[in-house]
Chain A
Amino acid sequence: MNGYLDMDLLRFTTAGSVDDGKSTLIGRLMYDTKSIFEDQLEAIERSSEKRGDETVNLALLTDGLKAEREQGITIDVAYRYFATPKRKFIIADTPGHIQYTRNMVTGASTANLAIILIDARNGIIEQTSRHTFIASMLGIKHIVVCVNKMDLVDFSEEVFNNIKTKYQEFSSTLNLPDIRFIPISALKGDNVVDASKNMDWYKGQTLLQTLETVQIVSDFNFEDARFPVQRVIRPQSAQYPDFRGFAGRVEGGVFRPGDSITVLPSGLTTKISKIYNADVELEEAYSPMSVCITLENNIDISRGDMLVKSDNLPKVDQEIELMVCWMNDKKMNPTGKYLLRHTTNEAKCVVKNVAYKMNINTLEKIVDNFEVEKNDIVKITLKSAKPLFFDAYKKNRGTGSVILVDEFSNETVGAGMIV
């Protein structure tokens, strides 16, 4: 019982191209960890039969919508859950074909780890580098390269080593501190949950062991204290007549009562009086805790302001450079106005410059004659109507990310990472 209460949480995303066994792998992980229930299994058995599939199609487990089951495709990011006594896992399962970039960017934005699947028969293909680039751009620290379908290459160590060497070569220029390689067969279960009996030469961890033990605590930023104010809490009740607390989520660093803080954009300074989680007083607050902070002085603070430690200020500017993934059918207007959401802040902004578009298959920059369409990744400069307080995305995901909203359709059209 206590074991269950003490699990930690790993969010990961899975990337793979069509037919490299991603759905089978997820099905295998969930099946072998007993996370699939009998009624779910019966339901997909019935559906498999109806569709005329020869074996139980584990992919049906992950395809939630009618159109997906009918067409045998995955439309959108789907979230899956399983747990072992050590950890709870959240999988952002993204489709491998159409609109891949946009969906993988979405899935990767909250992930600690990415599984990249490679078909052992095909080795590294264009999509492998695309997936790896997106994972690196989204700041995922841990990559697990699963070389799948090892059963179809006679469990050959040589095949595995060749892929490993090639992957290390091409990924060396990307900012990926932790890459691991595991030879697996998702279909047969080798090295997914249980160690393979067919690959004595592989002495490393199975995929599940890796997922259970990879260290993720240090991936959060505990250096740069940032607290975007989400809401001002003023009960104005008989019991709390003068209470004025600032509610929000810590987006970096550690805050303690007594810390000297600066309020942005006003630049006023004061000290933290108390930190609360509901009625419990805390000694410290760190990412990703949602807390309520009270201050020693009564300063005018509202939503969108940011509390930071006075000895470590973020950048403050109205112009930001960022890498943007375009998410919408409507093309980006290269001089257009958009609404920008950054932390709890919202501002009108205008595109000042579009520097280049990435060819994410070759990693070359396209500088001439291009338009920004759905799934494109571009480097742009935005000018905002008011100053923003931010860090580079590389340093802090929470204060370095933005979304762009179309003012007319209200849709989320772009996802940006501040350079």
Chain B
Amino acid sequence: MSYNLNHLEQLESEAIFIFREAVEQFENPVILFSGGKDSITLVHLAYKAFFPAKIPFPLLHIDTGHNFPETLVFRDELAKRYNVKLDIGYVQDSIDRGTAVEEKGLNPSRNTLQSITLLEKLEEGKYDAAFGGGRRDEEKARAKERFFSHRDEFGQWDPKNQRPELWNLFNGKKAPGESFRVFPISNWTEMDVWQYIKKENIALPSIYFAHDRSIVNRGGVLLAESPYNTLLPGEKYEQMHIRYRTLGCMTITGAIFSDADDLDKVIEEVAAARSTERGNRADDKRSEAAMEDRKKQGYF
């Protein structure tokens, strides 16, 4: 007798369970789609959870205006392929409305502004639950995150007063105006995601694989040439052979030198990696509690 599920099968089963549970417990959920591998994996899991029915909720993308062009093309194709509605919130709209203010300085990051646009869109769409691809292994503040993470009516997270989660019994009860963030792949690691992408043959944007790109090396962070990035005195762009481990705004997402041009090579590289995938994210380095602070304000 061998009734054994391997780790990927168990993680998949858990994520599917969470998707189904959230759809039953909430009125109007949405997948927060960042364009990265984790949210692409989420969409695939949602597809499996409700097959042969359609994914019963839309995707919401918060467009900072500073995206890698490849990811936008991929996003639109993906929405078509899964036959799922795509709702887009533009940070520029929030700036134009005056609800968000562009950072001063040479390379303004719109990373923190995303939270403002996100909260506005959640309110506008009356979404009461938003699925995110956050994983507990990513960052220390995320290690304490719940599968069903309660947000007050201002969209804020109170890490010291979270509901306990036991067995697979999830409590999505809330007062009007409150909402939840739901993290189906909480228990996955970066390696698990890559292995699952391989196992399920999930398509990814090309920038996850090694390619040539015009890059400036700024204090060890390899930033891509883009209209949103201004060179400092003495800096110049050079062609480099790189790939991305995570995706965010072009202004803050660092590339890594890499020859990994297919999935097997990427997995090998991830297995040998000596730094975390967010190690190249300038946004996390702003302070020790950068992620915790952003999460409290409504960031994923």
Which residue numbers of A lie inside 8 Å of B, CB to CB? 1, 4-9, 37-40, 43, 47, 61-67, 69, 75-81, 83, 87-88, 90, 102-103, 105-106, 109-110, 217, 220, 222, 230-231, 233-235, 237, 239-240, 243, 245, 247-249, 254, 276-279, 286-290, 292, 303, 327, 339, 341-342, 344, 397-398, 401-403, 405, 410-412, 415
Chain B residues numbered 264-300 whose CB sits less than 8 Å from any CB in chain A? 264, 267-268, 271, 273-276, 279, 288-289, 292
Q: How far is the CA of A39 from the CA of B140 in the complex (A)?
A: 13
Chain A minimum-CB-distance residue to B189? A81
From B161, which residue of chain A is reached at the shortest CB distance?
A: A411
B47 at the interface (CB under 8 A from A): yes
B51 engages A76 (CB within 8 Å):
no
Task: Bits for B1-23, please: 1 = Cβ < 8 Å to A, else 0.
Answer: 11111111111111011001101
Measured between beta carbons, the chain B residues less than 8 angstroms from A6 are: 6
Separation in Å of the A131 CB from the closest CB of chain B?
A: 17
Residues of chain B lying within 8 A (CB to CB) of residue A248: 20
Known: A4-B267, A412-B171, A415-B164. A235 touches B6 (CB 8 A): no
Identity of the chain A residue whose Cβ is nearest the Cβ of B83 in the assembled complex: A237
Neighbouring B residues of A397 by C-beta, 8 Å: 167
Contact B20 A8 (CB under 8 A): no
CB of B126 within 8 A of chain A?
Answer: no
Contact with A along B73-105 (1 / 0, CB 8 A): 000000000000000000000000000000000
In the complex the two chains form, is B20's CB within 8 Å of A231's CB?
Answer: yes
* Of B35-43, B59-67, B116-124, B191-199, the one touching chain A: B191-199
B54 close to A (CB within 8 Å): yes
Please give me the residue from chain B that is nearest to A235 by CB atom. B53
In Å, the complex CA distance between A234 and B142 comes to 35
Q: Complex Cα distance A232/B5, Å? A: 25
Task: Kindly identify which residue among B47, B136, B271, B274 contacts A4, using a CB–CB cutoff of 8 Å.
Answer: B271
Q: With a CB–CB cut-off of 8 A, which chain A residues contact B171?
A: 341, 403, 405, 410-412
**Which of the residues B21, B24, B275 comes within 8 Å of A37, measured between beta carbons?**
B275
Would you call A234 and B4 a contact (CB within 8 A)?
no
For the complex with contacts A81-B187, A412-B165, A412-B171, 8 further pairs of A-B residues with Cβ separation under 8 Å are A4-B191, A64-B292, A69-B288, A287-B3, A289-B9, A289-B13, A290-B14, A412-B166
**Contacting pair A7 B6 (CB below 8 A):** yes
Closest residue of chain B to A239 (Cβ to Cβ) is B52
A412 touches which one: B164, B198, B273 (CB < 8 A)? B164
Q: Does B201 contact A (CB under 8 A)?
A: no
- B residues 147-167 near A (Cβ < 8 Å) are 159-160, 162-167
Pair A65/B7 contact, Cβ less than 8 Å: no
List A contacts of B164 (CB < 8 A).
77, 102-103, 106, 327, 412, 415
Taking a contact as CB atoms under 8 Å apart, the answer to whether B292 and A279 are in contact is no
B213 contacts partner chain A, Cβ-Cβ < 8 Å: no
B169 touches A401 (CB 8 A): yes
Contact partners of A292 in chain B: CB under 8 A: 51
Is B175 an interface residue when CB atoms closer than 8 A count as contact?
yes
Q: Does B174 contact A (CB under 8 A)?
A: yes
In this complex, which of A39, A69, A77, A237 has the most chain B Cβ atoms within 10 angstroms of its Cβ? A39
Residues on B with C-beta less than 8 A from A220 are 3
Known: A65-B159, A106-B164. A249 touches B17 (CB 8 A): yes
Please determine whether B275 and A39 come into contact, CB atoms closer than 8 angstroms: yes
- With beta carbons under 8 angstroms apart, the residue of A75, A80, A289 that contacts B160 is A75
A76 cross-chain contacts in B, Cβ below 8 A: 144, 159-160, 162
Counting CB contacts under 8 A, is B173 at the interface? yes
Q: Contacting B24 at CB < 8 Å: which of A79, A230, A240?
A: A230
Contact of A39 among B53, B186, B198, B279 (CB under 8 A): B279
Measured in the bound complex, the distance between the Cα atoms of B5 and A230 in whole Å is: 21
- A403:B166 contact, CB within 8 angstroms: yes
Q: Is B202 an interface residue (CB 8 A)?
A: no
Q: Could you tell me if B166 and A109 are in contact, using CB atoms closer than 8 angstroms?
A: yes
Given contacts A105-B166, A403-B171, contact A222 B1 (CB under 8 A): yes
Contact A235 B17 (CB under 8 A): no
Chain B, Cβ-Cβ closest to A50: B288
B6→A5 contact, CB < 8 A: yes
Q: Is the CB–CB distance between B165 and A279 below 8 Å? A: no
A243: B residues at CB distance < 8 A? 52
CB distance from B132 to the nearest CB of A (A): 16
Q: Contact: B168 with A398, CB < 8 Å?
A: yes
Give the shortest distance, in Å, between B283 (CB) and chain A (any CB): 14
Q: A39-B276, A88-B7 are in contact. Are A401 and B167 (CB under 8 A)?
A: yes
Docked-complex contact A64 and B141, CB < 8 angstroms: yes
B237 within 8 A of A: no
| CB neighbours of B5 from chain A (8 A) | 8-9, 288-289
Counting CB contacts under 8 A, is B49 at the interface?
yes
Would A288 and B10 be within 8 Å (CB), given that A278-B47, A401-B169 are in contact? Answer: yes
- Selected A-B contacts with CB under 8 Å, 8 pairs: A9-B11, A76-B159, A87-B7, A230-B24, A278-B51, A289-B9, A290-B13, A410-B174
> A78-B143, A288-B13 are known contacts. Are A106 and B165 too (CB-CB below 8 A)?
yes
- Residues on the A chain within 8 Å of B8, using CB: 5
The 4 A-B pairs at the shortest CB distance, nearest first, are namely: A410-B173, A64-B140, A278-B48, A235-B53
